[in-house]
Amino acid sequence: MRALIIDDSRAMRSILSRLMTGLGFEVVTASNGLEGMERLQEDDGIGLALVDWNLPEMNGLEFVQSVRSDPSFETIRLIMVTTETEKERVVAALDAGVDEYVMKPFTEAILAEKLSFLGLLPKVNRG
Amino acid sequence: MTKTTPKSSFATFRVAEHLCCVEVGEVQEIVPLRGLTPVPLAPEEVLGLMNLRGRILTIIDLARVLKLEDDRTMREGTILVLDTSRGDLGLRVDSTSDVLQLGDEDFEETPNTLKGEIRQRIRGAYKLKDSLLLHLNLDELGVTKGRKTGEEGDARTDH
Amino acid sequence: MSDVDPIIQEFLVESLENLEEVDRDLVGLEKDPENSEKINRIFRAIHTIKGTCGFLEFSLLESLAHSGEHLLSKLRDGKLEVSSGTTSLLLRLADAIRDILKRVEASGSDSGEDFEELREKLLATASRASDERVAENINEKEEKPDTQAQKAVSGGKQPKISLAGAETEQKRPSSEHSSGTRLAGRTPATSQKPSSLNETFVRVDVRILDRLMNLVGELVLTRNQLLGSQTTDPVEASAIQQLNHITGELQAGIMQTRMQPVSKILGRFPRLVRDLATSCNKKAELTIEGQETELDRSLIEAIRDPLTHLVRNAVDHGLETPSERKEASKPELGRIWIRAFHESGQVTLEIEDDGRGIDFEEIREKAIEKGIVPRSYAEQLDRDECLRLLFTPGFSTSQSVSNISGRGVGLDVVRSNIEKVNGMIDLESQPGKGTVFRLRIPLTLAIMPAIVLRCAGQLYAIPQSSVKELVRADEGGEGHRIEKIHGAPVLRLRGSLLPLLSLRKELQLDSDDDPASPSILVVQAGDRRFGLIIDDVEDTQEIVVKPLGSMLERIPIYAGATIMGDGKVALILDTLGLAQRAHVIAESSEIRNQVEAPVLLNEMKEGFLIFRSPDDGRMAVHLGPLIRLEKFREEKVEHLGGTRAIQYRGDILPLVPVLELLPERRKNVRALEKVEGEINVAIFESGGQTVGLLIGPVVDIVEEEIEVRRPASRDGVSQVIVVDGRVTELLDVDDLVNKADLPLAVEAPAGKETT
């Protein structure tokens, strides 16, 4: 399965890409919400998106709202990447339709747990 | 072959009666000497500049580096294009020879019989059946500091 | 460096880039404290650094960034006002983060100085916010909708909302809340530059680009060889044409990849201006225009220092203090502009300030006082020329050496740095209004027009931009002669003495005797001019400049190497390195005073009308005020009282007998004035009056740069100059006209008196 990573920081994209490929995903990236939408539209192999909250152009919440408003993206799982300081917003994110959230910084194990919770990770890959 | 220590490949070549080598991996390619442009004021080891497919390669003469002879005439020769810590360098040698597999058991520290400049420029030697193979230290191939360039440079930047 | 994890490398690069933007935005915020877009951007940058640190385990940096983020969130949410205090604090934060990043780059770890005091200050300032502002808010009637929305969240439920308490929060969203929050999130984005292109870019190692550039250079040469081969086969010919075309496009494309926007170095200037202005108690605002303008990357680096120097100057010397500005009824806030734009194949950079401007008369006096130019010369200079004296070595305008710009380097260094990359610098200034420095920089250094010359059988290249002239020297012939002064060779060229350098000798070539009739390149390098003796000029062509390897780069006479059409390598001569040699020679042989005539920035050509004077001498007048040159029959001269005049175009033209008016040496005057019954009259405008100067036979009209000037030896002569190798007296027309003591009647609406 391909995972879409949306973050405006190159370094963060690299970090997340490394984690996700380590967990056996193929990875595509985008640097803002708008671009993330484009990726989704052009690549129907994407089954999961990790989206940062703070993004230029279209922020993470808007991205989630816009994915959820399009029935063709119904099966796409959304994980909001957020930080301690933003946790109050998690509510809004969950409300908008994210499937999971993960708080920065996180380890591969934490990420793997969230993913397997969503049934996205074969058990073999864990631990 | 009985006991095998890990062996490395060495490119061997001749210069003024000496058989020398560097590790194969240090040699990018071997090209004939042609179209040399002399560089006035350069250190005496520098033969000149050569165009290697658009790259400008500084050619140094191994014989002069090792102070093996005083013959200043430009000769034919072969250029080893080397990847050194100071960038690419072309090393003029008389001729190239075989690639040899050599292990540590054949190696010895710089032999006492060797005298002069050459001692400073080699890592050690390998004993072959009928000769001694000198392992050049590429880091020391660069030109002796100061000398002609240094002096000129300082004098000129003074004012 | 090389074994740093590429992700950390990426983090360092990205964070440093972001910090530049932070600097810029912080400075911008001071003028525009309500700009939520800027606050958001700063917040995001610090937030990202903090977030990334968590993964990379830079806990010290994480904690520092966290405290900054905390303060920023207060500013963003309107709980704290942006003030110069918060800005300074955040600028300090940016510096501290930069320090730590450098540490990470060097050692791979963030441990070391922990900036604890700064961290505490950030937190303290942030916590002050919550108490004060909440109270204030109640009194504020008018608030922006976004801050209002934010406050609705934080003000109502001050404690952080935990996930458990989510439901209560969820019920709250009246339309105001949810739309308000979103609005706040979106505003910054819409007006921001589209950054969605990010992913269509690939990061490429610069060495690969350099290598491609080399290969393209090679391809160009191969193409040139093919173009030179005259084929008759039409198929081949068209293939060559096609190759020609593609090669050109490829070359342009590769050059394009090496281009970088000037924003790369302009980013830190808002901060610089702010800090400088603060330190000299001035108020300054910087406006940058055209920062997307692109230049070759090597040039971007080369202009960094000159640009910094000019911007420092603008703040330090250009702008007045707020009180001075007030007195001059200018706004207290001084303004500085940096503009970058493309103009006729070059990039122009302007650094302008609206400060006190430069008084060119003051410059003139100072130049004379400091002995930079002789008085007689300085007095001839017009306004722009005076201003250009600023670029002369040893000139510094500042009254007292200030701690900002007065670091011993002046504009001459700026100029020579710019000229090093084949650029040009000029300035304009209006007293009271401001000053603008203008830099013109070539788009690329990699390819430049050069003169290919031959010396002792080898070809060398020299940048065409520094070669002013080619002169052939003949021994004993009519041409220019090489002379020796104190053993040093000089060339007498139109009256000035040019120090000569023999390339053969400089290169210490075995055959170091110059040919009998060598060619001499007149080379201008920085403010120095010298002649370079070579065998001959071979060609002019565009060359691809390549660096010399580490073993040769210290030889100051070479600037690099290039590959000629035949595939051979040719060395490129460094004119500045050579100029130093020439200068050393000139100085050591004590001919400096005779040689070093001041050479100003641009060609200083002047026009002269040259005519014969008694004793086969030469005299000249400036062409400037000359209206026309006429010959009249002697009989047409009329005498009106003591004055001679002639009827000319319906008017009376009073004649000024120049030669008679000059003291002494009057022997052959009459004889010279008329030749075969004709007189030469140069019609001039002098003091609002049209007069005819009676002059000797005209020798020539020349336009040239005068490098040797001496004070005049008699009245009526403004100075003695050397034109075309001849000592020539330059007449002071106004003075002579005064001396002629023309009757007022003629001066008035002429004609009536005579009828």
Give the domain ranges of chain A. Answer: 2-125
Q: Which DSSP symbol is given to C480? A: B
**Touching subunits for chain C (3+ Cβ pairs under 8 A):** A, B
> Looking at beta carbons, which residues of chain C come within 8 Å of B43?
551
Q: Do A12 and C48 touch (CB under 8 A)?
A: yes
Of C213-217, C420-424, C453-457, C604-608, which range is least confident? C604-608
Cross-chain Cβ contact B42/C561 below 8 Å = no
CATH, residue C280: 3.30.565.10
The residue of chain B with its CA nearest to that of C211 is B55
Phi-psi region of B115 (alpha: psi -120 to 50; beta: other; left: phi over 0): beta
Chain A residues within an 8 Å CB radius of C53: 105
Torsion of CA C674, C679, C682, C688, to 10 degrees: 110
Interface contacts (A, C; CB < 8 Å): 99
Are C539 and C613 contained in the same domain? no
Residue A35 half-sphere exposure toward CB, CA atoms < 13 A: 22
**What residue segments make up the domains of chain B, in order of their start?**
7-140
A41 in reach of chain C (CB within 8 A): no
The whole-angstrom distance between B41's CA and the closest CA on chain C is 6
pLDDT, averaged across chain B = 77
Does C272 share its domain with C419?
yes
Q: What is the pLDDT of residue C746?
A: 43
Tell me whether residue C193 is in a domain: no
Backbone angles phi, psi at B36, to 5 degrees: -80, 135
Flag if B51 and C550 touch (Cβ within 8 Å).
Answer: no
- Give the residue from chain B lying closest to C217, CA to CA: B54
Instruction: Kindly state whether residues C246 and C279 are assigned to the same domain.
Output: no
Domain end call among C124, C140, C156: C140
Q: Which residue has the higher pLDDT, C151 or C506?
A: C506
Instruction: Calculate mean pLDDT across residues C668-683.
Output: 68
| Maximal CA-CA distance, chain C | 118
C163 to A90: CB separation less than 8 angstroms, yes or no: yes
Look over chain C and give the mean of its residue pLDDT values, rounded to a whole number: 75
Confidence of residue C664 (pLDDT cuts 50, 70, 90): low
CA C602/CA C344 separation, integer angstroms: 19
Q: Comparing C-alpha atoms, which of C496, C514, C747 is closest to residue C641?
A: C747
Closest CA to C23 of C300, C269, C289: C269
pLDDT tens for each residue of C517-553: 788 898 877 667 788 999 888 888 778 787 787 788 7
- Angle of CA points B132, B135, B138, to nearest 5°: 155
Rounded Cα distance between A93 and C185, Å, is: 14
Q: How confident is the model at residue C670 (pLDDT cuts 50, 70, 90)?
A: low
Instruction: Please give the share of chain C, as a percent, with pLDDT higher than 90.
Output: 10
Using a CB-CB cut-off of 8 Å, the residues of chain A touching C43 are 54
Q: Give phi and psi for C352, each to the nearest 5.
A: -120, 145
**Which chain C residues are Cβ-neighbours of B57 within 8 angstroms?**
549
DSSP string, C704-735: EE---EEE-SSTTEEEEEEETTEEEEEE-HHH
Chains with at least 3 CB pairs less than 8 angstroms from chain A: C
How many of the other CB atoms lie within 10 Å of CB of C648?
18
Number of folded domains that form chain C: 5
Contact C571, B39 (CB under 8 A): yes
Among the listed residues C578, C384, C596, the one whose alpha carbon sits nearest the alpha carbon of residue C490:
C596
Closest alpha carbon within chain A to C48: A9
**Cβ atoms C549, B56 nearer than 8 A:** yes
Q: Between B56, B156, B159, which is nearest C569 by CB?
A: B56
| Residue C131: φ, ψ to 5° | -70, -55
**Mind telling me how many Å the CA of C308 is from chain B's nearest CA?**
25
* Three-state DSSP state, A47: strand
pLDDT digits (tens, 9 = 90+) for C541-599: 778 787 787 788 778 889 889 888 777 899 999 887 888 776 665 554 444 444 444 33
Fold of A2-125: Rossmann fold (3.40.50)
In the block, residue with structure tokens 């005819």: C692
This complex has an ipTM of: 0.83
Task: Name the residue with higher pLDDT: C621 or C663.
Answer: C621
Q: What is the pLDDT of residue C330?
A: 92
Amino acid found at A2: R
What's the sign of the alpha-carbon dihedral A107, A109, A110, A112?
positive
Are C213 and C296 found together in one domain? no
**Backbone φ and ψ of A28, nearest 5°:** -120, 155
Check pLDDT > 50 for residue C512: yes
Is position C155 within any domain?
A: no
Q: Count of B–C CB contacts within 8 Å?
A: 93
Judge if C634 and C729 occupy the same domain: yes
Chain A partners within 8 Å of C198 (Cβ): 31, 35
Evaluated on CA atoms B144, B147, B152, B154, the torsion sign reads positive
Q: Write out chain C residues lying below 8 Å of B38, CB-based.
A: 458
**pLDDT at residue C474, rounded to an integer:** 67
Q: CA torsion sign, C144 to C149 to C152 to C158? A: negative
Amino acid at C237: A
Are C625 and C742 part of one and the same domain? yes
Asked if C546 and C561 touch (Cβ cutoff 8 Å), the reply is yes
List Cβ neighbours of C475 (8 Å cut-off, separation of 6 or more): C481, C482, C516, C517
Contact between residue C314 and residue C355 where contact means Cβ atoms under 8 Å apart:
yes
pLDDT at C200: 59
Amino acid at C1: M
Say whether both C252 and C311 belong to one domain.
no
Question: Are the CB atoms for C134 and C155 separated by under 8 Å?
Answer: yes
C616 and C745 housed in the same domain: yes
Q: Does A100 touch chain C (CB under 8 A)?
A: no
Chain segment C71-117, per-residue pLDDT in tens: 998 888 888 888 888 888 899 999 999 999 988 888 888 888 888 88
Residues 6 or more apart whose CB falls under 8 angstroms from that of C357 comprise C429, C430, C431, C432, C433, C434, C435
- In this predicted model, what pLDDT tens digit does every residue of B117-143 receive, in sequence order? 777 788 888 888 888 898 888 777 764
pLDDT of residue C360: 84
Residue A79: which of A36, A18, A126, A123 has the closest Cα? Answer: A36
Please state whether at least 3 CB pairs lie below 8 Å between chains A and B.
no
DSSP structural state of residue C692: E
Judge whether C495 and C597 are in contact, CB under 8 Å: no
Chain C nearest-CA residue for A106:
C55
C634 shares a domain with C616 = yes
Chain B's closest residue to C560, CA to CA, is B56
* Residue C713 or residue C291, greater confidence: C291
Return phi, psi of residue C164, to 5°.
Answer: -65, -35
CB-based contact B86 C550, cutoff 8 Å: yes
> Is the Cα torsion angle C663, C669, C672, C677 positive or negative in sign?
positive
Interface test mutation site (partner A, options C195, C197, C203, max chain A beta carbons within 10 A): C195
- Name the band, by pLDDT with cuts 50, 70 and 90, for residue C292: confident
Homologous superfamily, domain B7-140: CheA-289, Domain 4 (2.40.50.180)
Instruction: Say if C235 falls within a structural domain.
Output: yes
C294/C437 same-domain check: yes
Residue ranges in chain B modelled with pLDDT below 50: 1, 143-159
pLDDT of residue C339: 93
Contact A39, A127 (CB under 8 A): no
Taking the CA of residue A85 and the nearest CA in chain C, the distance in Å comes to: 8
Which strands sit side by side in the sheet containing A2-6, from one edge to the other? A26-30, A2-6, A46-52, A77-83, A100-104
Nearest CB partner across the interface for C509, out of B40, B49, B50:
B40
Please give the residue of chain B at the shortest CA–CA distance from C548: B56
Residues C292 and C402 in one domain: yes
- Residue C572's DSSP bridge partners are C461, C560
Tell me whether residues C549 and B42 touch, CB distance under 8 A. Answer: no
Within 10 angstroms of residue C163's Cβ, the number of other Cβ atoms is: 13
Residue with tokens 């709250």: C172
* Residues in chain A closer than 8 A to C161 (CB atoms): 88, 91
Angle between helices C206-228 and C234-257 (to 10 degrees): 160
Which of C595, C613, C639 is the last residue before a domain boundary? C595
Rounded to whole angstroms, how far apart are CA atoms C207 and C202?
14
Residues of A in contact with C46 (CB under 8 A): none
- Residue pair C607/C624 in contact (Cβ under 8 Å)? The answer is yes
What are residue C721's DSSP bridge partners?
C709, C728
pLDDT for position C322: 92
Read out DSSP for C540-556? EEEEE-BPPPTTTTT-T
Chain C interface includes A118 (CB < 8 A): no
The residue segments making up the domain with residue C310 are 261-358+397-442
- Using CA atoms, how far apart are residues C49 and C11, in angstroms rounded to an integer? 8
Q: Report pLDDT for C396.
A: 60
State whether residue A102 sits within 8 Å of chain C by CB. no
Contact yes or no for C551 and B88 at CB 8 A: no
C524 and C612 in a single domain? The answer is no
Confidence of residue C201 (pLDDT cuts 50, 70, 90): low
